[in-house]
């Protein structure tokens, strides 16, 4: 009994005008598809500025932001320390295409506090980091195939825009026009949380599989929290078959603690990729591994990978400022406690009302799901029709000053800038919006 009756909507006049123009310039009016608001109501909001946990759109509407630029802004918007370090750095020039001390500084900050990595290479996006990690895995093992999981997103490189074909273990099918079928043939796509599928894939394609890649915690298609034993199983089976295990920690890196999901599970992956938080809101990605493995990257080794703006000083500066803050005492403990309290209060409200709604969460990542299922661990267990509820929920939240990602498959993030007062305000808005949804 979904209630779609509308209350008064916030003004989106200026955003609508900007969107109209943007559509003349960009496909779909955007530079990244999800921003077009195709899965929710109304025109996309054009954001003018952000501060702390707040953003303001072109019409002057203020929102408590749980999208946080899709995860990078773990300290909130416009953090003073990041702004100062970036400003200081940009006064000396924006880019040199030559090494700078700032790259050493960020690498040192990461490597000295992460026992899962010995060497790292900076790139400019998460996509680039994962693409390079896959190349390294192939170059190192001399094998071509990779195993990826249905529902995990690893950026938009050709090998990874592949979805499951029919049958338990098959070659993938391209999930985008323009990806050659021969590329998709090198990617095996299987469901998460299914040991048998992994075993079958290794039996069928033994000695051809270069790597298994998984998100630290799959968080790009709902929040599909895996059992720890399953992750250990992946570590064991890859080792037995001399394939590499890649943790794509573009979301979980520096989010689930400074050492990310690797430390959360106590599992040593062969290659780890980073993005999002590592750049403090600037375009930075990275991949890292043992010194031995990284020795295969050019110019030391035969796996080529380069970038005109890689290790860009201004981007490094933002990363250094942000990661330095994350090293402060109890940073993650405080953040996660806040997130836990936020989620529990919502769960209690929902339980009392008997709503078909659940908040899945791990650390400061959460996912609002219109479901009664106790656990959702695989993409195929998500009920697609539940997204109709999310659509109404999203609109009602915007009308009450809360900004979530414009799709029910997206997770939300709590930052250090979300204080008790704002979290309570957001809770109230969530309660009211759920009442409208289930009216």
Site map 255..294 versus ligand PLP, x via CB under 6 A: --------------------x---------x---------
CA atoms in the 13 A half-sphere facing the CB of 362: 22
Distance CA 120, CA 336 (A): 27
Q: How far is the CB of 125 from ligand PLP (least distance, A)?
A: 4
For residues 124-143, which are near ligand PLP according to CB under 6 A?
125-127, 130
Contacts of 95 (CB under 8 A, 6+ apart): 309, 312, 313, 314
Token pair, residue 191, equals 């469901």
Q: How far is the CB of 159 from ligand PLP (least distance, A)?
A: 13
What is the separation of C-alpha 33 from the centre of its chain, rounded to a whole number of angstroms?
A: 15
Please identify which residue in 10, 133, 209, 250 interacts with ligand PLP, judged by CB under 6 A: 250
Q: Using N-to-C axis directions, what is the helix angle for 101-111 and 313-326, rounded to 10°?
A: 30
Give whichever of 57 and 248 is closer to ligand PLP, judged by the CB atom.
248
DSSP string of 304-364?
----TTTT-HHHHHHHHHHHHHHTSTTHHHHHHHHHHHHHHHHHHHHHHHT-S-EEEEETT
Give whichever of 193 and 221 is closer to ligand PLP, judged by the CB atom.
221
Q: Which residue stretch of 36-44, 57-65, 150-158, 364-372 sits at the interface with ligand PLP (rule: CB under 6 A)? A: 150-158
Site map 21..60 versus ligand PLP, x via CB under 6 A: ----------------------------------------
Distance CA 143, CA 29 (A): 40
Q: How far is the CB of 156 from ligand PLP (least distance, A)?
A: 7
Total residues contacting ligand PLP by CB under 6 A comes to: 14
Q: How many residues does the chain have?
A: 439
**From 116, 140, 153, 389, the catalytic residue:** 153
**From 85, 145, 148, 276, the catalytic residue:** 276
Please identify which residue in 210, 223, 251, 289 interacts with ligand PLP, judged by CB under 6 A: 251
Number of neighbours of residue 208 by Cβ within 10 angstroms: 17
CA angle 213, 219, 225 (to 5 degrees): 85
DSSP string of 215-282?
ESS--SSS--PPPHHHHHHHHHHHHHTT-EEEEE-TTTTTTSSTTHHHHHHT---SEEEE-GGGGBTB
Surface-to-core class of residue 425, CB atoms within 10 Å of its CB (0-12 exposed, 13-18 middle, 19+ buried)? middle
CA neighbor of 175 nearest in space, from 157, 201, 197, 193? 157
Give whichever of 139 and 285 is closer to ligand PLP, judged by the CB atom.
285
Q: Which residue stretch of 52-60, 61-69, 134-142, 245-253 sits at the interface with ligand PLP (rule: CB under 6 A)? A: 245-253
Residue with tokens 């201004």: 314
Could you confirm whether 242 is annotated as catalytic? Answer: no
For residues 161-220, which are near ligand PLP according to CB under 6 A?
215, 220
Nearest residue to ligand PLP, by Cβ distance, number only: 126
Could you confirm whether 248 is annotated as catalytic? Answer: yes
Distance CA 196, CA 188 (A): 14
Give whichever of 116 and 153 is closer to ligand PLP, judged by the CB atom.
153
Please identify which residue in 153, 202, 409, 438 interacts with ligand PLP, judged by CB under 6 A: 153
Give whichever of 134 and 416 is closer to ligand PLP, judged by the CB atom.
134
Give whichever of 127 and 141 is closer to ligand PLP, judged by the CB atom.
127
Q: Check residue 319 for interaction with ligand PLP (CB under 6 A).
A: no
Distance CA 264, CA 258 (A): 10
- Please tell me whether the peptide bond between 299 and the residue prior to it is cis, using omega within 30 degrees of 0: yes
Give whichever of 283 and 401 is closer to ligand PLP, judged by the CB atom.
283
Q: How far is the CB of 155 from ligand PLP (least distance, A)?
A: 4
Q: Check residue 363 for interaction with ligand PLP (CB under 6 A).
A: no
For residues 97-126, which are near ligand PLP according to CB under 6 A?
125-126
Q: Check residue 154 for interaction with ligand PLP (CB under 6 A).
A: yes
**From 248, 358, 391, 409, the catalytic residue:** 248
Residues that bind ligand PLP (CB under 6 A): 125-127, 130, 153-155, 215, 220, 248, 250-251, 275, 285
Catalytic positions, written as ranges:
153, 248, 276
């Amino acid at each position: 009994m979904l209630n779609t009756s509308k209350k008064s909507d916030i003004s989106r006049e200026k955003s609508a005008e900007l969107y109209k123009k943007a559509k003349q310039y960009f496909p779909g009016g955007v530079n990244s598809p999800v921003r077009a608001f195709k899965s929710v109501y109304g025109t996309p909001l054009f954001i003018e500025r952000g501060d702390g946990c707040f953003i303001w759109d072109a019409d002057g509407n203020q929102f408590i932001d749980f999208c946080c630029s899709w995860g990078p802004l773990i300290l909130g918007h416009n953090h003073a320390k990041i702004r100062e370090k970036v400003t200081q750095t940009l006064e000396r020039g924006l880019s040199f295409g030559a090494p700078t001390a700032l790259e050493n500084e960020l690498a040192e900050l990461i490597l000295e506090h992460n026992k899962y990595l010995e060497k790292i290479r900076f790139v400019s996006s998460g996509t680039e980091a994962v693409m390079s990690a896959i190349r390294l895995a192939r170059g190192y093992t001399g094998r071509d195939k990779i195993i990826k999981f249905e529902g995990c997103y690893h950026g938009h490189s050709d090998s990874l825009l592949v979805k499951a074909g029919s049958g338990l273990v098959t070659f993938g099918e391209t999930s985008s026009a323009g990806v050659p079928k021969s590329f998709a043939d090198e990617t095996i796509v299987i469901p998460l949380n299914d040991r048998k599928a992994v075993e079958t894939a290794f039996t069928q394609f033994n000695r051809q599989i270069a790597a298994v890649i998984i998100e630290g915690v799959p968080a790009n298609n709902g929040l599909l929290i895996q059992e720890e034993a399953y992750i250990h199983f992946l570590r064991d089976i890859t080792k037995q078959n001399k394939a590499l295990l890649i943790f794509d920690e573009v979301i979980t890196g520096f989010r689930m603690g400074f050492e990310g999901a690797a430390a959360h599970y106590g599992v040593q992956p062969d290659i780890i990729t980073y993005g999002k938080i590592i750049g403090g809101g600037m375009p930075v990605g990275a991949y890292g591994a043992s010194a031995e493995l990284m020795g295969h990257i050019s110019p030391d080794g035969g796996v080529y990978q380069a970038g005109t703006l890689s290790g860009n000083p201004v981007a490094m500066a933002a990363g250094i400022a942000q990661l330095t803050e994350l090293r402060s005492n109890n940073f993650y403990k405080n953040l996660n406690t806040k997130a836990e309290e936020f989620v529990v209060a919502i769960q209690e409200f929902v339980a009392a009302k008997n709503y078909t709604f659940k908040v899945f969460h791990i650390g400061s990542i959460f996912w609002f799901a219109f479901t009664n299922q106790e656990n959702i661990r695989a993409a195929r267990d998500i009920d697609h029709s539940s997204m109709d509820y999310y659509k109404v929920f999203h609109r009602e939240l915007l009308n009450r000053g809360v900004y979530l990602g414009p799709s029910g498959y997206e997770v939300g993030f709590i930052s250090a800038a979300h204080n008790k007062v704002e979290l309570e305000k957001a809770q109230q808005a969530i309660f009211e919006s759920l009442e409208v949804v289930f009216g």
